[in-house]
């Protein structure tokens, strides 16, 4: 089963039960920290990771596009992006069409962080796979695939 399905399953379980949420968040945070420590990354807040994810997914977004994606204020994004800029994870470039607009992109260090995140998720998916029997894994995959189909219809 694909890593995306396992991640969706984790997110679904987290929405259903607070105790599961706390345990999953703690174990995933530990994996992120382990990978980050191995690769020499500073520990980032969840919000900073969300900004980096949004920038990675959007390419070279404006502050407004990041705010829209994360459903937060432009002022919050500006503050967060400026912190990431000072940490060396992103760059800001003024738009040539509108001098009031800045576009944000990941630096090489920012792209390495994204790769580290995917590595951590892969390791977490492998941990889940190794914790399930073949029957449990098939059942888990079928449940997650059904949920993906249902979410795709809404």
First to last CA, the chain: 23
Q: According to the model, what pLDDT value does residue 1 have? A: 46
pLDDT in tens, 22-63: 666 677 667 666 766 766 565 777 788 889 999 999 999 999
Domains and CATH numbers, the chain: 3-153 (1.10.10.10)
Q: According to the model, what pLDDT value does residue 86 have? A: 95
pLDDT in tens, 113-126: 888 878 877 887 78
The 8 Å CB, 24+ separation contacts for 124-128 are: 124/6, 124/10, 124/27, 124/28, 124/31, 125/3, 125/6, 125/7, 127/27, 127/31, 128/6, 128/9, 128/10
Average pLDDT value for residue range 70-80: 95
Place of tokens 């800029």: 85
Average pLDDT value for residue range 76-99: 95
Is the pLDDT higher at 38 or at 2? 38
pTM for the model stands at: 0.67
- Residue 16 above 90 pLDDT? no
Strands (E), the chain: 90-94, 102-106
For all residues of the chain together, what is the average pLDDT? Answer: 81
Average pLDDT value for residue range 100-107: 95
Please enumerate in sequence order all residues whose Cβ is within 8 A of that of 108, keeping only pairs 6 or more positions apart, or say none: none
Greatest extent of the chain over all pairs of C-alpha atoms, in Å: 58
């Amino acid at each position: 089963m694909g890593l995306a399905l396992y991640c969706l399953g984790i997110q679904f379980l987290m929405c259903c039960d607070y105790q599961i949420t706390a345990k999953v968040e703690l174990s995933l945070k530990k994996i992120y920290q382990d990978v980050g420590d191995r690769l020499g990354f500073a520990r980032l807040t969840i919000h900073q990771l969300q900004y980096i994810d949004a920038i990675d997914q959007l390419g070279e977004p404006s502050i407004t596009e990041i705010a829209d994606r994360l459903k937060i204020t432009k002022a919050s994004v500006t503050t967060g992006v400026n912190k990431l800029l000072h940490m060396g994870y992103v760059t800001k470039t003024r738009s040539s069409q509108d001098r009031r607009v800045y576009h944000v992109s990941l630096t090489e260090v920012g792209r390495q962080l994204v790769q580290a995140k995917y590595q951590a998720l892969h390791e977490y998916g492998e941990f889940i796979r190794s914790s399930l029997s073949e029957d449990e894994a098939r059942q888990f995959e079928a449940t997650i695939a059904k949920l993906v189909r249902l979410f795709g219809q809404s």
